[in-house]
């Protein structure tokens, strides 16, 4: 018998760039569907381009909804399969797996943000530290709701951790997911289970419409877990319908139908990036969020189909699959780069390419050296093998706990490291607070600048003065105003501003406030757009718009039952322009002189009429700007973003403002 010929060794294939940065697709098991990662890769790039300033993708914010739907059916499928295999769902085991996937890269992000916060002098540092703690404890979305963070407000410098609100939503969903899936699996019949979960999604959509109809803020609608639940539940419904049973059986559409659903869902979902914009409130009012979730479900249903559909072959291209596999890291790290990276003078195309490349490099490193090792070997895989086993086991949780504790301490305990070096000196040496003869209730009314003023008030330092905020971010003013900002772009008010204008007078009346305090907002210092015409500051038309807004504010104050309206005039600002494509953009050009002159003359006319409400103008501009623009006074950083007061800057302002409020009140009848 002839011996078998030696097996010829296959030539070693040179590893491709995909092999170097992602796990081997052949090792992912027969149930792996690369088209799902392909979809994630496509939509993460579209979301990143939207965040990097590609204005043609004005509806890019809806892409997050697609990710929630994908997350729903992936997590739902995992839990259903575990129930089939083990006869039950181990919630603790599920939580540990989710922690291994989410926490390592998130910890890197928070550490980087805190390091940048400590070393670089910019932004609202205590707020950023608080965001870090909220991120580590997975409630950042509700923290953004609590401070009425308006996602589309271009006047506010966003937090470098604003984008991780999505992790809060997902982790809150993960807490309930094992019990939800286990409960639904008690229902017999695949279609009955699917209908039950879809019914819950419809309930979420109806609840969202109710919130919108009853005046919920844009932040409440955008960041709320109960609002976003509809997309997650649609994803779980897809998992209930399409996850194979113990025998490997699952419903299957005719191939042509599956292909059509996939293409329709994909094209409609992509089109949303181009047809929606920041004013698309109907997405929340009229079930739009549910519609987009169903589109994403169509993509998911086709991606799960094992047949070689044309849409799946397209979405399974290696570059898209690779981007999908590292999409978590791309999402985490691209946003801080957008905020921090100094690209002044670069053409926009080079700016975007640079940020895309850097985001990709960081995401790849995170995936290969942090995320994958932990997913495969647990948290101990991050530590040298020479360490004691018990030390390796608890090292990672100790790092996470330490980082969370440091974030909490930095956000709640004063520290010169994060909160400036204010020495406590009042803004004006002559300002001395004297407790009023009667308790004064002050209602701060306005938009984001008013809110930044209110945030610095510390009642224990001003006995007899009670200050409450009745503010609404989103460029809200006493009347609807569209103005030009950021190099000529038009800024319209948030759709919720109309409801705020109607509501705050009754709130103030109910509180019994005697004084309405209203800082002049940025809109009144910028070019105002009326019927397509741009009215520049200092022109007669611009002056008329200021007086129209002040007349409305006075009427609202009268309706609120207050006895005095105190106007805080506009202050000087200085923000160098960014040069892009040879043109200056992004400059905050606020010369308050003409606006303040109109405000003063209007107030004098009202005072001469002796109406039911007296009017006083508090000249903060003179107190802050007598020596020209100053970014720092008495060691305190005045502004967080050159427009809004920082927390410590606002505290400094109150050393002058509180005595002025009491003085203006005492002279109201003079």
Give the residue-averaged pLDDT of 595-615: 90
More confident residue, 582 or 350: 350
Task: Using DSSP, state whether 154 is helix, strand or coil.
Answer: coil
Give the residue-averaged pLDDT of 173-189: 94
Mean pLDDT check: name the lowest of 95-99, 111-115, 209-213, 601-605.
Answer: 209-213
The upper half-sphere exposure of residue 109, i.e. CA atoms within 13 Å in the direction of its Cβ, equals 32
Model pLDDT for residues 395-428, shown as the tens digit of each residue:
788 888 888 988 888 877 655 555 567 778 899 8
Judged against a pLDDT cut of 70, whether residue 537 lies above it is answered with: yes
Percent of the chain residues past pLDDT 90, beyond the cut:
49
Judged against a pLDDT cut of 90, whether residue 43 lies above it is answered with: yes
pLDDT band at 17 (very low <50, low <70, confident <90, very high): very low
Residue 11's pLDDT is what? 46
**Distance separating alpha carbons of residues 464 and 343, to the nearest angstrom:** 49
Residue 578's pLDDT is what? 42
Residue 377's pLDDT is what? 83
Give the residue-averaged pLDDT of 497-523: 91
Give the residue-averaged pLDDT of 275-294: 78
More confident residue, 62 or 487: 62
**Distance separating alpha carbons of residues 58 and 61, to the nearest angstrom:** 8
pLDDT band at 311 (very low <50, low <70, confident <90, very high): very high
Judged against a pLDDT cut of 90, whether residue 603 lies above it is answered with: yes
Give the residue-averaged pLDDT of 627-639: 85
* Other CB atoms within 10 Å distance of the CB of residue 3: 5
Task: Using DSSP, state whether 155 is helix, strand or coil.
Answer: coil
More confident residue, 602 or 16: 602
Mean pLDDT check: name the lowest of 41-55, 407-421, 628-642.
Answer: 407-421
Judged against a pLDDT cut of 90, whether residue 630 lies above it is answered with: no
pLDDT band at 41 (very low <50, low <70, confident <90, very high): very high
Residue 24's pLDDT is what? 39
Residue 279's pLDDT is what? 58
pLDDT band at 236 (very low <50, low <70, confident <90, very high): very high
Collect all residues with Cβ–Cβ distance below 8 Å to 298 and sequence separation of at least 6.
261, 262, 264, 265, 266
Mean pLDDT check: name the lowest of 26-40, 124-138, 220-234, 509-523.
Answer: 26-40
Phi and psi dihedrals of 327, rounded to 5? -60, -30
Judged against a pLDDT cut of 80, whether residue 527 lies above it is answered with: yes
Give the residue-averaged pLDDT of 375-382: 82
B/e letters for 621-631, b = 16+ CB within 10 Å, e = fewer, are: bebbbeeeeee
**232, 69 contact by CB (below 8 A):** yes
**Distance separating alpha carbons of residues 446 and 279, to the nearest angstrom:** 20
Mean pLDDT check: name the lowest of 106-110, 136-140, 415-419, 534-538.
Answer: 415-419
What are 616's strand-pairing partners? 566
Q: What is the dihedral of CA 138, 139, 141, 143, to 10 degrees?
A: -140
Residue 444's pLDDT is what? 95
Q: What is the mean pLDDT of the chain?
A: 85
Judged against a pLDDT cut of 80, whether residue 199 lies above it is answered with: yes
CA 592 to chain centroid: 30
pLDDT band at 354 (very low <50, low <70, confident <90, very high): very high
**620, 568 contact by CB (below 8 A):** yes
pLDDT band at 107 (very low <50, low <70, confident <90, very high): very high
Judged against a pLDDT cut of 90, whether residue 157 lies above it is answered with: no
Taking alpha carbons only, the member of 283, 123, 297 closest to residue 205 is: 283
**502, 559 contact by CB (below 8 A):** no
Mean pLDDT check: name the lowest of 108-112, 349-353, 590-594.
Answer: 590-594
């Amino acid at each position: 018998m002839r011996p078998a010929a030696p097996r010829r060794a296959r030539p070693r294939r040179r590893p491709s760039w995909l092999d170097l940065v992602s796990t081997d697709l052949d090792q992912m098991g027969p149930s792996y569907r690369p088209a799902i990662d392909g979809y994630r890769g496509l939509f993460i790039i579209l979301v990143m381009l939207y965040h990097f300033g590609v204005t043609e993708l004005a509806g890019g914010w809806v892409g997050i909804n697609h990710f929630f739907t994908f997350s729903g059916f992936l997590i739902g499928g995992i839990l259903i399969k575990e129930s089939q295999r083990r006869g039950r769902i181990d919630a603790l085991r599920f939580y540990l797996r989710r922690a291994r996937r989410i926490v390592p890269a998130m910890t890197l992000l928070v550490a980087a943000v805190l390091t940048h916060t400590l070393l670089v002098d910019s932004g609202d540092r205590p707020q950023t530290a608080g965001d870090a703690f909220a991120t580590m404890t997975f409630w950042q979305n509700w923290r953004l709701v609590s401070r009425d963070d308006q996602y589309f407000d271009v006047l506010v410098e966003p937090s470098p951790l604003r984008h991780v609100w999505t992790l809060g939503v997902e982790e809150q969903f993960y807490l309930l997911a094992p019990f939800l899936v286990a409960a639904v699996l008690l229902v017999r019949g695949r279609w009955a289970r699917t209908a039950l979960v879809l019914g819950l999604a419809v309930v979420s959509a109806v609840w969202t419409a109710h919130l919108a109809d009853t005046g919920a803020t844009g932040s409440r609608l955008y960041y709320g877990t109960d609002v976003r639940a509809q997309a997650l539940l649609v994803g779980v419904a897809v998992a209930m319908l399409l996850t194979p049973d113990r025998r490997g059986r699952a419903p299957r559409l005719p191939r042509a139908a599956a292909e059509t659903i996939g293409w329709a869902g994909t094209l409609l979902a992509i089109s949303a990036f181009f047809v929606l914009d920041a004013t698309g409130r109907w997405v929340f009012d009229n079930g739009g969020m549910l519609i987009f979730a169903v589109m994403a479900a169509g993509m998911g249903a086709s991606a799960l189909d094992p047949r070689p559909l044309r849409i799946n072959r397209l979405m399974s291209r290696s570059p898209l699959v690779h981007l999908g596999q590292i999409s978590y890291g791309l999402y985490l790290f691209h946003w801080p780069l957008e905020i921090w990276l100094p690209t002044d003078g670069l053409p926009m195309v080079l700016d975007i390419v640079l940020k895309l490349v850097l985001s990709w490099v960081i995401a790849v490193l995170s995936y290969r050296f942090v995320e994958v090792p932990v997913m495969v070997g647990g948290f101990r895989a991050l530590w040298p093998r020479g360490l004691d086993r018990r030390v390796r086991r608890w090292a990672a949780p100790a790092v996470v706990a330490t980082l969370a504790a440091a974030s909490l301490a930095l956000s709640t305990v004063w520290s010169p490291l994060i909160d400036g070096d204010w020495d406590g000196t009042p803004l004006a040496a002559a300002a001395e607070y004297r407790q009023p003869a009667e308790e004064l209730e002050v209602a701060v009314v306005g938009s984001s600048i008013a809110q930044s003023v209110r945030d610095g008030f510390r009642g224990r330092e001003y006995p007899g003065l009670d200050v409450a905020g009745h503010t609404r971010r989103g460029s809200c003013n006493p009347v609807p105003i569209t103005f030009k900002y950021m190099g000529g772009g038009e800024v319209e008010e948030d759709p919720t501003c109309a409801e705020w204008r109607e509501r705050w007078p009754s709130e103030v009346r109910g509180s019994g406030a005697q004084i309405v305090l209203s800082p002049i907002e940025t809109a009144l210092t910028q070019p105002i757009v009326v019927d397509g015409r741009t009215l520049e500051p200092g022109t007669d038309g611009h002056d008329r718009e200021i007086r129209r807004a002040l007349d409305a504010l006075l009427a609202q104050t009268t309706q609120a039952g207050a006895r005095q309206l105190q106007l805080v005039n506009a202050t000087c600002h200085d923000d160098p322009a960014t040069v892009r494509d040879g043109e200056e953009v992004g400059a905050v050009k606020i010369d308050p002189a003409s606006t303040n002159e109109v405000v003063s003359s209007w107030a004098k006319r009202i005072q001469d009429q002796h109406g039911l409400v007296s009017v006083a103008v508090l000249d903060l501009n003179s107190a802050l700007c007598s020596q020209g623009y100053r970014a720092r006074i008495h060691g305190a950083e005045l502004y967080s973003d050159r427009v809004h007061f920082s927390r410590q800057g606002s505290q400094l302002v109150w050393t002058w403002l509180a005595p002025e409020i009491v003085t203006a009140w005492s002279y109201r009848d003079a």
